[in-house]
Amino acid sequence: MLELIERRGLTGDSFVIELASNDGYLLKNYVDNGIPVLGIDPVPALCAAAEKIGVPSVAEFFGLEVAQKLADEGRQADIIHANNVLAHVADTNGFVAGIAALLKDDGMAVIEFPYVRDLIDHCEFDTMYHEHLCYFSVTAVDHLLRRHGLYLNDCWRLPIHGGSLRLFIEKKDLPLPSVTGLLAEEKELGLDRIEYYQEFRHRVEDLKSKLLAMLGELKSAGKHIVAYGAAAKGSTMINYVGIGSDVLDFVADRNVHKQGRYMPGQKIPIVAAERIQADQPDYVLLLPWNLENEILAQEQAFRDKGGKFIIPVPTPHIV
């Protein structure tokens, strides 16, 4: 954040807008540096929470109409943030057209979303949520932006959410090697051809078969198996693969609001994380595999006693 403030020379005369601004945690960094901001989020309660920490917010679904109204009021932005929202939008073109209308001629939009290439390469099928209507490649988003007079000029790959992109977008066409390089890589890998995506299906089916076989062998050997993490991706994993309470005794989770409930579909009970060390099962299926390092560190005492974790993605393996 501070790097962007310095890089763009933002001052008290600048204006920063965030789309899907949630409770204002990102924009608060600008407020603390004396830079005017506005959060736009459709949830009134979140806007109220943002207002309490000094982040002005409006409860609206962002699109061209809202953008044009703000632009007509002279409230165009030097910076527009949109983190993990583009994939949720039904009117994708209207959303991007709104960014184009709201951005100053010399402004910059900074957008983040999961990268479809990482999703496919790492077989991350369980990160596909019903709220996500689109998964973008650099090639696809470049075409989308150009349709509305916007240009992708810089692009960073990030490890968050199993692999994401941070895009830096302007109204002038000056792409850095980070963009041209990824476009060339995607062309070489075939991300602009249907075969790339068809192969993904076969790899997901192979993961399912291998995980079922592994769990079946362990249960046949009399091993005690549980799971960790009642996350959305975990629900997708157990329901697609078909892992029920005949395989998993419970799913442990640190969130007290999930404890005492059940995993959707398979109805496996959710218990406190402390049950893992209390019961000392033989194996724990790690459902939020993207937090592997963090969770394995938290459960080091369990591992020191001989407990093992099953990591399902990108291919099932035991650690």
Alpha helices in the chain (DSSP H): 2-8, 27-31, 44-52, 64-72, 92-102, 116-121, 138-146, 177-189, 194-220, 232-241, 274-279, 292-298, 300-304
Q: Is 152 helix (H, G, I), strand (E, B) or coil?
A: strand
Whether the pLDDT of residue 279 is over 90: the answer is yes
β-strand pairing of 317-318 with 164-170: unpaired
144, 229, 248, 255, 309 from 258: Cα distances, Å: 39, 10, 17, 6, 21
Query: Does an H or E element contain 157, and which?
Result: strand 151-158
Residue-range domains of the chain with CATH: 2-195 (3.40.50.150), 210-318 (3.40.50.720)
Cross-strand bridge partners of residue 169: 109, 152
pLDDT tens digits for range 215-237: 999 999 999 999 999 989 999 99
Residue with tokens 């790097």: 3
Q: Amino acid identity, residue 178?
A: S
Count helices and strands in the chain by DSSP H and E runs = 13, 13
pLDDT tens digits for range 77-91: 999 999 999 989 999
pTM of the model: 0.85
